[in-house]
Structure 1
């Protein structure tokens, strides 16, 4: 007992890990008490009326479940959360080995209120699918042009799940392909042509979903079809977000700008949450500076700007600010892993696990349970 206490005193980051597990369990229990309005209706919408945006998950489930119960939201999204968590642990172990000296970085990433805890809070939303694909690509071998093709096919699946993935995770997936495949194996006419063609297919599918995936049948017919797929058709309150499939892009932008005066008040909170992860950002910057090739350093810098620009566009289009800033941070975490796979001219010192400032930031990040969906917390 005494030796265990001493180990905890020597390395409190282990205790932070345990605290993060407890927080995740608490967030999950809280989510079980909430009505999954948006996630549930996404499990009902399919391709019954033709090509439809946001319908891939519902269409797939309809092949196995003629009637969809509310519990399926928590079962499916919980399974995806567990898979994503397992994949990230494997990725971190491959990149950093997960020794005691790596625990601060692991806690500040895996225990971040931006990451797994917020994915638990947004259980049933589609963000985590993009993250799961990106981690899978970081783990997969990238020795041939097949890697580019798989990344493109995965990106198209994400767009069929929700077209906003074009801005949310497809840019990060593109960065992973560039850093892991093109910078390592080089550019030639063949693989560049494949990459350009794959990117064109992804963009074309996005525009198809955005402008041709809107419902054209009367809303009453749409609602009746959704009720026919519900295990409890009397729960019409769960269909209150059906207008999403009729709403054009112009209306989404209008709603976002109308909410901007109140939503923008959360920016100082977002800035503070980003600052809590300053040891990660410092380590990221040091890792980029340590790259042995100047072209690699410039490419990584441009990639961060590209991904961030995509999120700025989302801020102007859709008002779920807490989700966007959280996923932006997750994308930065994943790009760091891609950077660590590039040749470096010198080792980068790990995040200090004895530094008092790092300890304080680690505890605060651990105890913040999530960031939220629209406004902070």
Structure 2
């Protein structure tokens, strides 16, 4: 890499940091409707979906200020970013040659920038859980149990994690634990039991986790947990805990025509990451065993199908496509742990087109929540 191109990629890191700071400051000006109410809902009235975070907050305070949304979510974002840097350093290294790949992953508008814009939502927790499972040793059956526990916590935070990040976590477990060793019956039994248990937990949360009291009583209880109970506008999404799955699907399909208008934008954003996708393709192609390639491709298909189901059920399309890219980045790291027949060249830092794409990706601040930007 020439000194000129090296300066380009290092400057991109600084610009990315400035853009992330700008996204964070902008987020502070927006009312945290959904994130705040998640800090208020707990298990006071029995098992309720989407209540784990609020229950944990309730262990430490009886009155929840609005600023706590940003304090908690910001801390989780910082921890996740720090662990991602550690993961990237361990998987690829973090010298000049790896800077372009770092820019196209950590600096992508799909990834940490969008986590900042969705601050307070639950998406980043799935990424955090997957990164932890990439960093800890995978040498014993305890690793499978840890993955199952992590997935269960994610489902209790929000049951949609079963589609959003649990398939990626399962793929990481397969690649890191099951593929490198001869699988025993106990291994298969524990893995199968974990999948069945997570499925049962999801169904329980989805269909039995609705609020058992009238909505007026529910919002009255939430006001007792608010530091400022006069801000009733922050409770306008309380209906979410009463809305059946059929209504969510109906709303999603009603919005489908307008949401599909964003597909060309998503396609363009994905194309801007072409150097990242080429690296991923080459890494899969270089795997030593054909069986490993087949399993990796099957895992990517399953992860993508789970997101397609989410697209049919819930209309936060910008969040879903962003989290899908995050899952692809996590799978890139997982695939890199498998043996290959030859070294795989990373993104060419000296290529002019790649540098232009890197600058465009760097300049885009985020993708959004429902519609692009």
Shift of 1:220: 1.1
Q: Which residue in 2 is equivalent to 1:120?
A: 116
Give unpaired runs (5+ residues) of structure 1: 1-5
What is the alpha-carbon distance in structure 2 between the residues aligned to residue 105 and residue 97 of structure 1?
10
In the TM superposition, residue 106 of structure 1 has moved relative to its aligned partner by: 0.4
Change (3 A) 1:236 1:166: same
Whether the aligned pair in 1 keeps the contact of 2:19 and 2:363 (CA below 8 Å) is yes
1:314-360 Cα distance to aligned partner (Å, 9 max, x none): 00000000000000000000001000000111000111001011001
TM-score when normalising by structure 2: 0.99
Checking the alignment, whether the CA contact within 8 Å between 1:8 and 1:14 is kept in structure 2 is no
* DSSP-derived class of the 2:365 partner: coil
- Whole-angstrom CA distance in 2 between matches of 1:298 and 1:28: 40
Q: Distance in 2 between matches of 1:9 and 1:348?
A: 21
The superposition leaves residues 38-72 of structure 1 with CA deviations (integer Å, 9 ceiling, x where unpaired) of 00000000011100000000001001011000000
RMSD over aligned Cα, in angstroms? 0.9
> Is the 2:39–2:54 Cα contact (8 Å) retained in structure 1?
yes
Task: Answer yes or no: is the 8 Å Cα contact 2:6–2:349 preserved in 1.
Answer: no
Displacement after TM superposition at 1:99 (Å): 1.1
The total of aligned residue pairs comes to: 372
CA–CA distance in structure 2, aligned partners of residues 333 and 10 of structure 1: 23
From 318, 326, 347, give the equivalent of 1:322. 318
Query: Does 2:192 align with 1:196?
Result: yes
Aligned to 2:98: 102
The separation in 1 between residues aligned to 2:55 and 2:79, in whole angstroms, is: 21
Q: Distance in 2 between matches of 1:198 and 1:11?
A: 48
Structure 2 unaligned spans of 5+: none
- 1:283-340 Cα offsets, whole Å, 9 max, x none, are 0010001010110000000010000000000000000000000000000000010000
Q: Any idea what the Cα deviations from partners look like across 1:160-214, whole Å, max 9, x if unmatched?
A: 0000000000000000000000001231101000000011111100000000001
Equivalent residues in 2 for 1:1-377, closer than 5 Å? 7=3, 10-377=6-373
Contact 1:74 1:124 in 2 (8 A): yes
**TM-score, structure 1 as length reference:** 0.98
* Cα offset, 1:132, TM superposition: 0.2
Once the two structures are TM-superposed, the CA of residue 8 in structure 1 deviates from its matched residue by: 5.4
Separation (CA, whole Å) in 2 of partners of 1:57 and 1:187: 36
Q: Distance in 1 between matches of 2:223 and 2:60?
A: 17
